[in-house]
Amino acid sequence: MTDQPRDIRTADHWLDEHGDALFSYAVRRLHRRDAAEDLVQDTLLAALQSARRIDDDRAIRGWLMGILKHKLIDHFRRESVRRSDSLSDVSVEPFNADGYWNRPPTDWFDDPSRRAQASELSRQTRDCQSRLPPTLQAAYVLRDIDQEDVDSVCHQLSISANHLAVRLYRARLLLRECIESYLKASRP
Amino acid sequence: MSLFSNLIGRLHGRCDHAMNLASRQLDGPLPLVSRARVWFHLATCRACAQATRQLRLVRQHAADTEPAGDRLDESAKARIRSKIRQNENPD
C-alpha cells in the first residue's frame, strides 16, 4: 500500500466498491448526472467524517446508502430555495374555481399508434419528475419511487401525514399534466 | 333544484376533492365515507376515472423503471477522489 492516510485509502475503496451503486441510486432520483456525482462525493466525505466506523463490508453499502438518502433530502431542501424553473411555474391549474377540470383528461392510448408510445411513458415520467418543485419531488421520490411507507417518509421530511398527502397529490397531478402535455404535443 | 338532484350533486362532489381522495387512496385505505365518495364520483365522472387510472399508471412506471447501467465514469471518479483529498488535506 502507498503512504496515503488511511481515510483516503478507505474513501478510494468505498468509491471503487460502492460508487456505482450510490451513483445509480442518485441518478434515478435526480435524473441529473452532475448533481448525482456531487451527492456521491458529499456522501463519501460525510462517511469519512462520521464518528461511526463500520468494518463489516456487507453493512457498509447500507450505511452509505443511508447517508446518501439524507444528502438527497438536503439537496431537495436546498433546491426548493434556489430553483424557479419547475413545473409549478409552467403548468396550468388543472381545476377551475368550482373544482371541476379546466381541460378534461384525454385518453393517452386511444388508438393503436399511441399504444406503441407506452414505452415513451417511462422516459417522460422521469423527465417530468425531474422538473417537479423540489419539495414535491422529495415526497414523490421517497413514496412513489422508493415506495417507503408513509410514516417513514413523514419522519424523514419532518412533515405530518396530512401534509405529505397534499404534497403527493400535487406532485402526482403535476406529473399527469406534464405527461399529457407531452403526449398532446407529440400527437401527429 | 329537486331534492333528488341536490342529493346526487352532494354525493357527486367536486372533481378536485375526488382526485385528492383518489391520490390518498394510493397511500392507504380511506375511511368508509370517503371511500364511498370516491367510488361514487369515479363511477359517475369519466374525466376523474380516466385521471385516476393515469395516476396509477404513472406511479407504476415510476416504481418499475430502473435505468440500466448508470455508472460513474473514470473522470467522475477522479474528480471525486481529488475533492476528497482536498478535503482531507486542505493545505
Query: What tens digit of pLDDT does each residue of B17-49 get?
Result: 999 999 999 999 999 999 999 999 999 999 999
Q: Looking at residues A124-129, what average pLDDT do you find?
A: 84
Q: Looking at residues A155-170, what average pLDDT do you find?
A: 95
pLDDT value for B29: 94
Q: What is the pTM of this model?
A: 0.81
pLDDT value for B53: 93
pLDDT value for B90: 63
ipTM: 0.80
Distance from CA of B30 to the nearest CA of A (A): 12
A37–B54 C-beta distance less than 8 A: no
- Please, what is the average pLDDT of chain A? 83
CA distances from A93 to A99, A151, B24, B68 (A): 11, 29, 19, 35
Asked whether the beta carbons of A136 and A169 are under 8 A apart, the reply is: no
Beta partners for A101? A95
Q: Does A179 touch chain B (CB under 8 A)?
A: yes
- Report how far residue A169's alpha carbon sits from residue B21's, in angstroms, rounded to the nearest whole number: 9
pLDDT value for A90: 47
Question: Can you tell me which residue has the cell 406532485?
Answer: A171
Residue B88 is nearest to which of A8, A105, A172, comparing CB atoms? Answer: A8
A144–B59 C-beta distance less than 8 A: yes
Residue A158 has pLDDT above 90, yes or no: yes
Residue A117 has pLDDT above 70, yes or no: no
pLDDT value for A172: 94
